[in-house]
């Protein structure tokens, strides 16, 4: 169990599931807590651990899509808790997307390729002649269901050629918020004519995203949209952290 290549919170969840100590409705009933033992999601069967993670129709719909069963089991439990505590249920496809995104985020944060060198700086530097530079950023306020994203495009003389900022009403992790900012920035850059574009972000995990294998990554709905922007913007894109990424 300790050697599983997953985050500690997922590892702890798997351990609790194996010990059958997750607080399902049946488990709470056994502990003397007065509650309805029926599954809060499907409202059809009693909610045991196996039902919550494997047999509930929502769970079955997710399992047929993915191999990352430990991460998805944890995500199914998190979404189940939303039903109990917030009365909010999720579509199986959204659970799958969020589960795989969580796995990829954890991988991106823990994989540092030895052949790459990152140099950061607090000072904005212009791109080289013939390039445009796209700076993107995102902000996530704790306890809020809004994210703010922004992008600005400058030429080698520092002149602003395009800019955008918007607020989105949805809860995202900082990682996904930065990826959305990148996507929106690429859509802005698509309107400008340039042979090459340097994208600068202070989110190192987003930069690492482009270092890991994409063969499975791009099968997820959100990543397909981001990849589509990269493919259709019509220019060569270089993703950098801080100021310079030497690859």
Q: Residues 218-238: pLDDT tens digits?
A: 444 445 555 565 555 554 555
Write down all domains in the chain, each with its CATH number in brackets: 8-110 (no CATH), 117-246 (3.30.420.10)
Q: What band does 241 get if pLDDT is binned at 50, 70 and 90? A: very low
pLDDT of amino acid 139: 84
pLDDT digits (tens, 9 = 90+) for 129-183: 878 888 888 888 777 777 888 888 888 888 888 888 888 876 677 777 888 888 8
Rounded (10°) angle between helices 92-110 and 69-86: 120
pLDDT digits (tens, 9 = 90+) for 88-131: 887 777 776 677 667 666 665 665 443 333 444 456 788 888 78
pLDDT of amino acid 120: 46
What does the pLDDT average to over 64-71?
62
Residue 50, token pair as written in the block: 């196996």
Residue 144, token pair as written in the block: 């809020």
How far CA 196 is from CA of 23, 61, 114, 152, 158, in Å, comes to: 53, 42, 26, 16, 16
Compute the distance between CA of residue 17 and CA of residue 231 in angstroms, rounded to an integer: 42
Task: Report pTM.
Answer: 0.45
Would the pLDDT of 207 be above 80? no
């Amino acid at each position: 169990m300790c050697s599983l290549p997953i985050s500690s919170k997922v590892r702890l969840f798997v351990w609790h599931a194996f010990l059958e100590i997750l607080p399902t409705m049946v488990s709470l009933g056994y502990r003397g807590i007065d509650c309805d033992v029926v599954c809060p999601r499907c409202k059809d069967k009693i909610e045991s651990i196996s039902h919550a993670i494997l047999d509930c129709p929502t769970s079955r719909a997710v399992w047929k899509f993915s191999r990352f069963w430990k991460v998805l089991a944890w995500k199914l439990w998190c979404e189940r808790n939303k039903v109990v505590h917030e009365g909010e249920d999720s579509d199986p496809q959204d659970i799958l997307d969020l589960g795989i995104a969580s796995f990829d985020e954890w991988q991106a944060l823990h994989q540092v390729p030895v052949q790459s060198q990152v140099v950061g700086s607090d000072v904005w530097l212009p791109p080289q002649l013939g390039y445009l530079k796209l700076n993107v950023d995102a902000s996530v306020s704790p306890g809020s269901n809004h994210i703010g994203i922004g992008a600005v495009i400058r030429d080698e003389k520092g002149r602003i050629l395009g800019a955008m900022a918007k607020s989105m009403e949805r809860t995202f992790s900082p990682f996904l918020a930065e990826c959305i900012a990148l996507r929106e920035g690429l859509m802005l850059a698509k309107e400008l004519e340039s042979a090459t574009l340097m994208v600068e972000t202070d989110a190192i995990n987003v930069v690492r995203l482009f270092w890991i294998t994409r063969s499975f990554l791009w099968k997820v709905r959100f990543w397909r949209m981001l990849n589509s922007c990269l493919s259709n913007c019509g220019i060569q894109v270089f993703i950098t952290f801080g100021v310079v990424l030497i690859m």
